[in-house]
Amino acid sequence: MKPLLILLGVFGCTLVYTKVVQPVIDLPLAGRIALSIMLLFTASGHFFFTGGMAKMIPDYVPSRKSLIIISGVAEVLAAIALFFPAWAAITGWLLIFFFVVSLPANIYASLHRINYQTGKADGPGLSYLWFRVPFQILLILWTYFAAISPF
């Protein structure tokens, strides 16, 4: 829920700011700024809650903690790369891939009630998917229109 609030809040503030500074609202720029800030926020969880997030990945996957750190670093790099025109589209496609491949971890965590902060089995469970799946779809669409589409 926090990433959604950050995404929408930063997007709204950026729209207001760009309207005040320039006569035309730049929707893709506002979308990239919001996505970037949200990615930096979610990446921080990869570093602060590495152990808990690693438990979101099934035991048979090797190097789970390393995967969490690597994906956190990837989110930080993507947050930066979105602002380089030569890299924005490829970063967008890589983010869409990331959002698709990270969904099974969220499903696994929901099925096993994993609390990503503590790693304990006291998370929200399946009800979390009612939010998470639509949010992943929103992130995919958001990324496409902010970073890839010639909008």
**Which pLDDT band, with edges at 50, 70 and 90, does 150 fall under?**
confident
Judged by phi (left if over 0) then psi (alpha if -120 to 50, else beta), residue 58 lies in beta
Report the C-alpha gap between 67 and 126 in whole angstroms: 24
- Give me the pLDDT at residue 148, please: 95
State how many domains the chain has: 1
pLDDT exceeds 80 at position 53 = yes
Whether residue 151 has pLDDT greater than 70: no
Residue 70: give the domain boundaries: 2-17+27-148
Note whether residue 105 is domain-resident: yes
Give residue-wise pLDDT tens across range 13-37. Answer: 999 998 888 888 889 999 999 999 9
In a domain? residue 22: no
Give yes or no for residue 124 having a pLDDT over 70: yes
